[in-house]
A and B are shown apart, each in its own frame.
Chain A
Amino acid sequence: MTVPLMISQCADPASLQGLSWLMCYLTTGKHMLFYASFGVVLLLLAVTAPIALLFGFGGAMASRSRLLPVRWFGKLYTSMVRGVPDIIFFLFVPIALDQALEWTRHQMLCDTDAPVRQGNDFVVCAAAKLPLSTSPEWVHQTYGFILAVIAFSIVFGAFAANVLYGAMQAVPRAQLETAEAYGMSQRQVNRRILIPQMWSYAIPGLSNLWMILIKATPLLFLLGIEDIVYWARELGGAKTSAFAYPHPDWRLYYFLGILVFYLAMTWGSEKILARLTRRLSAGQATMGGEALRKGAA
């Protein structure tokens, strides 16, 4: 990663001018890390979206459960997470999770009576560290990334739970009653009628959430993950001759690049979501489905 595209003329940056300077500048090892960080954002989206949807599905099913404690759990999850500012949650979850895991490992793996809290310090023995101090840097970064995914999934799962709960309630009761009249069990009704039909009600809410999730990805920066915002700020800042490519404050251009990236992401998403909405409306007893039926005739 640290070896840039080795264009031989880039060996002596001070002698370069104009376009060749810019070409060499844009292919430094640091810029490669910047380009790779776009992948980190896309990976976060790709991993978080399905997990959050799963959390949301679980939360929605729990909220509809016939068992009171399960219902309470579902309601508590959605109302509690939705009631706390996202940023507080993003800061709280990774630290709390990390310390809880290390504390547990300390109790299991360490052969010592030394307390974990010593004055200001949170000290666990070397074997209980997560990841171990000896682990290579990518393990530390992956661990941080996983904690971020968990935080994102819990928060967006709560919103998704509410959307899916609403969508399940919106499926006409007559549809479910008909299924019951055919002698289907509760499970069969859920699987064959309720879930396939709820998607067309859920999609507007879920597409909103997807947009918000895309726009929330710069919060990674808050969690100490080197995402596109970190690198844009780092690369854009004024550089003195301590660097091979000195330049004035270019943050404006870097942030403009990120702005274009996010606009492209949300624009592309809107196109795809519009097609998805159309497909899911087909054959549904909704206004969208009705419009499709009439259009086809």
Chain B
Amino acid sequence: MKKLILAATALAMSAGMGMGETVRLGTEGAYPPYNFVNDAGEVDGYERELGDELCKRAELDCTWVKNDWDSIIPNLVSGNYDAILAGMSITPEREEVIAFTQNYIPPAASAYAALSEDADIEGGVVAAQTGTIQASHVAESGATLLEYATPDETVAAVRNGEADAVFADKDFLVPVVEESGGEMVWIGDDVPLGGGIGVGLRQSDTELKEKLDAVIGEMKEDGTINEMIAKWFGEDAPLFE
């Protein structure tokens, strides 16, 4: 009997090992082209493609989880999922709470967009998503900050006239401005913000951080990350050297 139990346990354990470790990846699903829910209802975008490739190379069995931006850090530290890939810039404030891998998108520009060229971005009302580096930047700039829970609502606020301008990652705003047929225009200069975008992890999860750091480094070396950036953000997007 004892032998039978031992054999069963050994079998169960080896079966578990063959599958590889299961890692749950959290994302917002509302920030095209970084991450969004496509028309089939699945997570899609740059981060989906990148995340799947990272998991393949690190031999992890990954599943995607959607979570609101507001609670994306609290739900990571309480263990609902194991990593955040949601266009989250690496900042010192966030590093006090969670750990980041090395960046998978180089430091990129943020930009203002508005309905007219004479919108006031220094003293007017500027919309930004809650809890983003752009929101902190607007708060410090002297303009009145209007915060929204989702990126889409920040753009809608400008179209509805509730805000004079929207401030967000330029890569997010490019399709919005270009496809508006001249309705929306760029205002002022681009603003470089943050230390690039990395995978957010629990500080206690050092093992996963090592694994992901290694494969991100590998993908930077062989140029696959640059290819993906060019595919999703256009040829003009900043690349890794």
| Interface, chain A (partner B; CB < 8 A) | 1-2, 4, 28-30, 32-33, 95, 98-99, 102, 118-124, 129, 133-134, 137, 140, 224, 226, 233-234, 237-238, 240-246, 249, 251
Quote the shortest CB–CB distance from A151 to chain B (angstroms). 16
A186 to B192, CA, bound (A): 77
Q: Does B14 contact A (CB under 8 A)?
A: no
Bound CA span A50–B89, Å: 46
**Interface residues as binary, B74-109 with A (CB distance below 8 Å gives 1, 0 otherwise):** 010111001000000000000001100000000000
Is B23 within 8 A of A244, CB to CB?
no
Q: Which residues on the A side are within 8 Å of B33 (C-beta)?
A: 242
Q: How many A-B residue pairs have CB under 8 A?
A: 98
> What residues on B are CB-neighbors of A98 within 8 Å?
78
Neighbour of B41 across the interface among A33, A129, A233, CB < 8 A: A33
Interface string of B175-192 (1 = CB under 8 A from A): 110010000000000000
Which residue of the partner chain, among A29, A119, A134, A224, contacts B39 with CB atoms under 8 Å? A29
B9 within 8 A of A: no
Judging by beta carbons under 8 Å apart, are B40 and A226 in contact? no
Q: What are 7 sample pairs from A and B whose C-beta atoms fall under 8 A apart?
A: A29-B39, A32-B41, A122-B79, A124-B79, A140-B65, A241-B175, A243-B32
Whether B224 is near chain A, meaning CB under 8 Å from some CB there, is no
A131 to B41 alpha-carbon distance, docked (Å): 23
- Are B98 and A120 neighbours in the complex by a CB distance under 8 Å? yes
A121-B41 in contact given A224-B71, A241-B175, A243-B32 (Cβ < 8 Å): no
B97 to chain A, nearest CB (A): 5
Check B68 for interface membership: any CB of A closer than 8 A. yes
How many angstroms from the CA of A237 to the CA of B156 in the assembled complex? 8
Contacts of A1 in B (CB 8 A): 41
Which residues, 173 to 219 on B, are CB-close (under 8 Å) to A?
Answer: 175-176, 179, 202-205
Is the pair B179, A241 in contact by a Cβ cutoff of 8 Å? yes
Of B66, B156, B179, B202, the contact of A121 (CB 8 Å cutoff):
B202
Q: Is the CB of B176 within 8 A of A240?
A: yes
- Measured CB to CB, the closest approach of chain B to A85, in angstroms, equals 18
Q: Does B24 lie at the interface of the complex (its beta carbon under 8 Å from any beta carbon of A)?
A: yes
Q: Are B40 and A30 in contact (CB under 8 A)?
A: yes
CA distance A29 to B37 in the complex (A): 11
Report the separation of the CA atoms of residues A251 and B23 in the bound assembly, to the nearest whole angstrom. Answer: 34
> How many whole Å from A279's CB to the nearest CB in chain B?
44
Residues of A within 8 A of B203 (CB): 118-121
When chains A and B are docked, how far (Å) is the Cα of A241 from the Cα of B117? 24
- Cβ of B30 within 8 Å of any chain A Cβ, yes or no, is yes
User: Chain B residues with Cβ under 8 A from A137's Cβ?
Assistant: 63, 65
Structural contact, B152 and A237, CB atoms closer than 8 A = yes
- Measured between beta carbons, the chain A residues less than 8 angstroms from B205 are 121
Please report the C-alpha to C-alpha distance between residue A243 and residue B42 in the assembled complex, in whole angstroms.
Answer: 12
B32 touches A122 (CB 8 A): no
Report B143-164 CB contacts with A as 1/0, cut-off 8 Å: 0000000101101100100000
- Given known A246-B179, A249-B159, contact A240–B32 (CB-CB < 8 A): yes
| Docked-complex contact B77 and A120, CB < 8 angstroms | yes
Q: Judging by beta carbons under 8 Å apart, are B40 and A28 in contact?
A: yes
Contact A30 B45 (CB under 8 A): no
In order of increasing CB-CB distance, the 3 nearest A-B pairs are: A237-B152, A29-B40, A240-B175
Q: Does B67 contact A (CB under 8 A)?
A: yes
| Docked-complex contact A226 and B98, CB < 8 angstroms | no
Which of A29, A224, A226, A234 makes the CB contact (< 8 A) with B30?
A234
- Give chain A residues whose Cβ lies under 8 Å from the Cβ of B175: 240-242
Cβ A133 vs Cβ B23 within 8 A: yes
Query: Please, how many angstroms separate the alpha-carbon atoms of A30 and B75 in the complex?
Result: 25
How far is the CB of A226 from the nearest CB of chain B, in Å? 7
A238-B156, A241-B175, A243-B32 are contacts. A30–B79 as well, Cβ < 8 Å?
no
B1-47 residues with Cβ-Cβ distance < 8 A to A are 19, 22-24, 29-30, 32-33, 36-42, 45
